[in-house]
């Protein structure tokens, strides 16, 4: 519902028993809440704005006039302006770029107050429109949370419950992007309604009193959503996207918004789990690159080469835990058992779509959808960072934290802000739309917490032998049928999507070892490769941990925080700060694998190599105990940017080595800690400085320039390019505007040259030595580049998150080896110039000359999103990708979390 309330809306609310109170008559609670120990030193921000609902008239006005409902985009400006304002940041100016996240709403800041039920009050503040929910009963608190979620994110919640069921195109139109999204998701989580209900039942019967309480909370939350749906439908202030997609007639109001139910929460949770809380997989592709290496070099040397690129446990990788402890997990076994490598050339991907008609066969990939089609296109998602400093190194003696998740940039945002106060619940922060019965990332009364995606390996690939035909397999010595799951979607043109009427069916074959992903032969015998993750059929289990994080009676110190994090089965790195302690814990259900199993490669699904204690009926197994998860309390500092958790903890992806974007944070925070006197503003400045830095420029370019500098550069064009990059490096290798709003980069030519040079450099350095086949296979395991403008990267263009995935570490190690510098965990051989310094130098100069001569229009070719060819700033810019009818402004590139907190607690309960 847009604010202020319309007359029709008010009438409908009153008819339904919703009490409207005059602004200021009943603030959520006092200006300085008695349960708030942050003393005004907690701040946060979540662009673009809290309001994610717009009426049909609002959407039409946005298209015609560029207007927007209140609080739709008011957080985008402060968030964006940190890029040019951070260098002058002080503790007193933090709230120019963030919002005060104290509990409650001061009386003079109350924008509206409603009571959707007698036991709960929802107060919204003037500055941001965030709902502050105060319940006199627990059920009332949750009802209010659901009602506020409906006000702020109803359309988005509806979209994602349909994504979770693989039904987006039937709900929102048959655009290619919509179909691509539902296909990517449903293939990895092809749940039936019975599967969704089974997860509800599991919570009820296997998670004790907290599970029962969670279900009661969720039901009250759903009741609140449904109460809002009824009021909004009767008052005609529901989201206008229902009109645009044909669910409601904009003239007659005929049509319905389907009420929510508990299984919708499971569908939503499965989407969140698939996006942010998984890790591992990709074993078939890893096997193909291993075989390519062995074909190139022979089995022994090829395996060494592959392992050096795999970088499972690189000794030079920045680790979040650096106190001397190690946490071995998922490493390479000394004597691998059960490997199931495919015959050469036999692997084919399992088809998903068939029986397509009409618009399903005519649309193109450029056909827009209501959701971006690349949300799920890869398990490699750029997400989240954390900087936490213990009180021993701060000016106040209290810990300081700057942290938050990178959930992408959308309009409206996937997250929403809320404050929840009621019996057993006291928290303020962010929650995923539709899952806001608890704050998932935020602060409690005297502590704050946040997370980064950990993505440790909790997914394995099994080869099951086929029997009888392609749809039967051997299980426990018996030939059994695969479960055949189908989802048929059909659509007709709507105001939002003119794609021709059509339909298609998705089909997945599911085994006890998970859905079939590939077909192949091994030793000439047909097999199916399946993918099994530990959180499959258990996405909802994490609700217990989130419940505990919101409970002031449960979390009272670092130890109790870590215990709550242990009850979250998503693969996250969790960080904590109060006035006395800092802490870290890596969550996730890490399966205990059979002896000798190599988690990086496919294994046989014959029983001998199953997870220990695995029960296929419920997909449960034995999991590594909490003590074996990376964790720490009161380390001098913590940094995390989806990097290595701790020594011994094997990275689930390629390329986690000597150069990772976490190096940008580590170098800056380490320097602050060594100097001492860390403050909130100093830590925020360190974060933002890293957010504007080109990783390649800071951590690889110095080695490349040293190789080039081993002899005089005589070619004028080459010399000019070298000087250009040297100057840029001296300026900090930044990608920043010359001034706020200039839309022009300082050192623009150097940035352009680096963007053009990097792929040429990597290819020139490695391709001839590796050979075309292996170079291509390794490029599939790990993309070469992920600069801000690289639309081919894992997170796509205009996504903000950059420099997580690339060949930075490989190039760094190789160039240092050419220079004769010490390298721990080196590549198996030296590639640049065949290991000869002069030949390596010649390659660098020739590719640099080529890059410097490449015009901006070629480096930045423009796109169909509004960027002209050659527009460097626009190519890098962040776009709030529309998830509905309202669009927001693009902003300058920053590599930082979407939702972010800056906190320092001066006192404790």
Beta carbons of 385 and 897 less than 8 angstroms apart = yes
Question: For residue 170, what are the contacts with CB-CB under 8 A and spacing of at least 6?
Answer: 162, 489, 490, 491
Q: How far, in Å, CA of 4 to CA of 193, rounded?
A: 39
At 657, list the tokens. 């080595």
Start-end of H helices in 49-113? 56-65, 76-85
Matching residue, tokens 């949300």: 375
pTM for this prediction: 0.96
Q: How far is CA 78 from CA 81, 657, 729, in A?
A: 5, 35, 28
pLDDT, averaged per 10 consecutive residues of the chain (909 residues), comes to 41 59 48 84 98 96 96 98 97 97 97 98 98 98 98 97 94 88 87 96 95 98 98 95 94 95 94 82 97 98 98 98 98 97 97 84 43 43 84 98 94 96 98 97 98 95 98 97 96 87 95 98 98 94 97 98 97 98 98 98 98 97 98 98 97 96 98 98 98 98 98 98 98 97 97 98 98 97 92 67 95 98 98 98 98 97 91 96 93 96 98
**Residues 327-358: pLDDT tens digits?**
999 999 999 999 999 999 999 999 999 887 87
User: Which residue from 418, 502, 493 is spatially nearest to 142, judged by alpha carbons?
Assistant: 418
Q: Are 84 and 739 in contact (CB under 8 A)?
A: yes
Asked if residues 41 and 448 have their Cβ atoms less than 8 Å apart, the reply is no
Tokens of 137: 């009963």
**Residue 101, SS3?**
coil
What pLDDT, on the 0 to 100 scale, is given for residue 19? 72
Helix (H, G, I), strand (E, B) or coil at 386: strand
pLDDT of 213-248, one tens digit each? 999 999 999 999 999 999 999 999 999 999 999 999
Within 8 A by CB and 6+ apart from 787, the residues are 694, 696, 755, 758, 793, 802, 803
d(CA 506, CA 187): 8
Beta strand segments in 345-458, E: 348-349, 353-358, 385-389, 400-404, 410-411, 415-422, 425-432, 441-443, 447-453
Average pLDDT, whole number, for the chain? 93
pLDDT at 361: 65
Q: What are phi and psi of 574, to 5 degrees?
A: -105, 135
Q: What is the pLDDT of residue 561?
A: 98
Nearest C-alpha neighbor of 94 from the set 41, 33, 36: 41
Instruction: List Cβ<8 Å contacts ≥24 apart for 167-170.
Output: 167/487, 167/489, 168/369, 168/370, 168/371, 168/489, 169/489, 169/491, 170/489, 170/490, 170/491
Six token digits for residue 125: 């503040």
Kindly state the helix (H) or strand (E) to which residue 822 belongs, with its residue range.
Answer: none
Three-class DSSP category at 116: strand
Q: Where are the beta strands (DSSP E) in 22-71?
A: 42-45
As given in the structure block, the two tokens for residue 831 are 């590639």
């Amino acid at each position: 519902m847009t604010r202020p309330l319309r007359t029709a809306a008010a009438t409908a609310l009153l008819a339904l028993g919703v009490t409207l109170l005059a602004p200021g008559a009943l603030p959520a609670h006092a200006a300085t809440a008695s349960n708030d120990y942050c003393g005004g030193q907690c701040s946060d921000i979540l662009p673009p704005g809290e309001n994610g609902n717009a009426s049909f008239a609002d959407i039409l006005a946005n298209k015609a006039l560029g207007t927007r409902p209140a609080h739709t985009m008011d957080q985008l400006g402060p968030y964006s302006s940190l890029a040019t304002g951070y260098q002058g940041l002080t503790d007193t100016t933090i709230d120019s770029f963030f919002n005060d996240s104290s509990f409650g709403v001061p009386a003079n800041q109350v924008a509206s107050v409603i009571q959707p039920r007698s036991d709960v009050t929802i107060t919204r503040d003037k500055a941001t429109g965030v709902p502050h929910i105060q319940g006199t009963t627990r059920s009332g608190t949750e009802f209010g949370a659901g009602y506020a979620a409906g006000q702020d994110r109803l359309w988005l919640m509806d979209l994602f419950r349909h994504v979770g069921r693989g039904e987006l195109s039937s709900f929102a139109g048959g655009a290619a992007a919509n179909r691509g999204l539902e296909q990517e998701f449903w293939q990895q989580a092809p749940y039936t309604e019975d599967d969704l209900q089974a997860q509800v039942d599991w919570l009820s019967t296997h998670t004790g009193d907290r599970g029962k309480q969670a279900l009661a909370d969720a039901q009250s939350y759903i009741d609140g959503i449904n109460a809002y749906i009824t009021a909004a439908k009767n008052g005609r202030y529901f989201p206008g996207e229902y009109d645009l997609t044909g669910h409601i007639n904009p003239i007659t109001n005929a049509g319905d918004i389907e009420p929510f139910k508990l299984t919708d929460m499971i569908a939503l949770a499965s989407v969140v789990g698939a996006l942010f809380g998984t890790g591992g997989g990709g074993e078939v592709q890893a096997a193909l690159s291993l075989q390519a290496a062995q074909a190139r070099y022979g089995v022994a040397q090829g395996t060494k080469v592959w392992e050096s690129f795999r970088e499972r446990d690189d000794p030079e990788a920045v680790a979040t835990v650096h106190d001397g402890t190690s946490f071995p997990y998922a490493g390479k076994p000394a004597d691998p058992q059960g490997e199931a490598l495919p015959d050469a050339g036999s692997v084919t991907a399992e088809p998903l779509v068939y029986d397509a008609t009409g618009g399903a066969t005519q649309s193109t990939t450029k056909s827009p959808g209501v959701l971006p089609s690349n949300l799920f296109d890869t398990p490699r998602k750029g997400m989240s960072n954390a900087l936490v400093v213990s009180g021993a190194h701060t000016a106040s003696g209290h810990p300081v934290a700057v942290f938050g998740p990178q959930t992408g940039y959308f309009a409206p945002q996937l997250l929403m802000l809320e404050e929840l106060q009621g019996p057993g619940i006291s928290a303020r922060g962010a929650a995923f739309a539709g899952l806001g019965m608890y704050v998932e990332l935020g602060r409690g009364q005297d502590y704050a917490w946040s997370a980064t995606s950990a993505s440790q390996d909790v997914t394995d690939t099994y080869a099951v032998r086929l029997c009888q035909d392609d749809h039967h397999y051997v299980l426990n010595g018996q030939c059994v049928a695969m479960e055949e799951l189908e989802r048929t979607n059909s659509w007709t043109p709507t105001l939002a999507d003119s794609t021709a009427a059509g339909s298609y069916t998705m089909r997945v074959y599911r085994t006890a070892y998970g859905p079939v992903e590939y077909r192949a032969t091994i030793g000439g015998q047909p097999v199916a490769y399946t993918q099994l993750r530990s959180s499959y059929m258990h996405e909802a289990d994490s609700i217990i941990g989130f419940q505990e994080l919101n409970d002031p009676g449960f979390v009272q110190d670092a130890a109790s925080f870590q215990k709550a994090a242990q009850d979250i089965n998503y693969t996250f790195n969790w960080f904590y700060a109060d006035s006395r302690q800092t802490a870290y814990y890596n969550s996730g259900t890490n399966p205990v694998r059979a002896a000798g199993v190599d988690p990086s490669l496919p294994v046989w699904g014959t029983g001998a190599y199953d997870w220990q204690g695995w029960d296929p009926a419920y997909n449960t197994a034995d999991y590594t105990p909490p003590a074996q998860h990376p964790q720490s309390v009161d380390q001098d500092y913590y940094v995390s940017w989806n990097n290595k958790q701790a020594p011994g903890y094997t990275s689930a992806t390629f390329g986690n080595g000597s150069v990772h974007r976490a190096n940008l944070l580590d170098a800056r925070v380490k320097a602050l800690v060594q100097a001492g006197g860390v403050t909130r503003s100093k830590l925020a400045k360190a974060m933002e400085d890293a957010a504007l830095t080109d990783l390649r420029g800071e951590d690889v370019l110095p080695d490349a320039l040293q190789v080039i500098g081993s002899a005089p550069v005589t070619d004028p064009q080459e010399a000019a390019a070298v000087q250009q990059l040297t100057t840029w490096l001296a300026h900090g290798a930044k990608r920043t505007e010359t001034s706020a709003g200039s839309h022009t980069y300082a050192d623009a030519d150097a940035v352009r040259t680096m963007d053009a040079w990097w792929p040429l450099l990597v290819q020139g350095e490695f391709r001839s030595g590796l050979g075309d086949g292996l170079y291509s296979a390794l490029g599939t395991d790990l993309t070469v580049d992920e600069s801000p403008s690289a639309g081919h990267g894992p997170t796509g263009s205009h996504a903000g998150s950059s420099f997580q995935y690339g060949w930075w570490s490989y190039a760094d190690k190789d160039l240092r080896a050419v220079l004769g510098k010490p390298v721990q965990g080196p590549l198996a051989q030296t590639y640049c110039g065949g290991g000869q310094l002069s030949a390596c130098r010649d390659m660098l100069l020739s590719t640099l000359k080529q890059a410097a001569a490449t015009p901006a229009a070629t480096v930045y070719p423009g796109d169909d999103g509004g960027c002209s060819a050659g527009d460097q700033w626009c190519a890098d810019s962040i776009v709030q990708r529309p998830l509905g009818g309202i669009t927001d402004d693009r902003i300058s590139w920053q590599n930082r979390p979407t939702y972010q907190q800056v906190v320092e607690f001066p006192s404790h309960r």
